[in-house]
Amino acid sequence: MNPSDAVLRRRIKWLTWFFIVGLFLSGATAIPLESELNLLARLVGADIGSSGVPPAASGLAHWILMVRDALHTTNTRFPFMAYGTDWLAFGHFVIAIAFIGALRDPVRNIWLFTFGMIACVLLIPYAFVMGAVRGIPLEWGLIDCSFGIGGIVPVRLCRKWARELELRQTTKHSSDDDR
């Protein structure tokens, strides 16, 4: 039995909000990178402890410390470089705002779900290519790819349900015309 139009619209709304909030949070976390990396270093036990001696770090902990230290040096000497991640955040915010159109009318704005799916798919090769160019460890690239994989699930479901709504509307209009 097919769920009612109201149930489909509610599902679309919830998953679209999930996607919007995810985009917004992704953008928001691109701004305070230095403090986030300080916290992450503490969480993985790679930060300088009360002894004042840095622990011997390897693997992911070493990578986090290296990125944190590079970011600190860059922010201290060239603070304008952080403007790039400010624009990254802005891009996330603007894309999130665009999805408000899908909240308002998912059938008319079904193209947003297609756009979201394309962006999620393209994220994966982009992360691998640019990660290799920039010397990013494979593990970190896989974390980046997880955003594309995690993002495609809600937008694909929303697109599927919006198509169901569209089909129901078309069928309803056809049966109304036959009267």
**163 and 113: one domain?**
yes
Please give the residue range of the domain that contains residue 107. Answer: 1-27+99-173
139 belongs to a structural domain: yes
pTM: 0.85
Are the C-beta atoms of 43 and 109 separated by less than 8 Å? no
90 belongs to a structural domain: no
**126 and 71: one domain?**
no
**110 and 159: one domain?**
yes
**15 and 50: one domain?**
no
**Domain stop point among 85, 110, 130:** 85
Count: domains in the chain: 2
**73 and 44: one domain?**
yes
178 belongs to a structural domain: no
H or E stretch including 132? helix 110-134
**116 and 167: one domain?**
yes
76 belongs to a structural domain: yes
**103 and 159: one domain?**
yes
* 107 vs 9: CA distance, rounded Å: 10
Q: Using one digit for the tens of pLDDT, what is the confidence trace for 59-115?
A: 788 888 889 999 999 999 999 999 999 999 999 999 999 999 999 999 999 999 999
Q: Computed over its alpha carbons, how large is the radius of gyration of the chain?
A: 22
**131 and 162: one domain?**
yes
**106 and 164: one domain?**
yes
pLDDT band for position 125 (cuts 50, 70, 90): very high
179 belongs to a structural domain: no
93 belongs to a structural domain: no
Q: Which two tokens stand for residue 163?
A: 């198509």
**152 and 106: one domain?**
yes
Are the C-beta atoms of 16 and 154 separated by less than 8 Å? yes
pLDDT band for position 58 (cuts 50, 70, 90): confident
Q: Using one digit for the tens of pLDDT, what is the confidence trace for 134-152?
A: 999 898 899 999 999 999 9
144 belongs to a structural domain: yes
**105 and 67: one domain?**
no
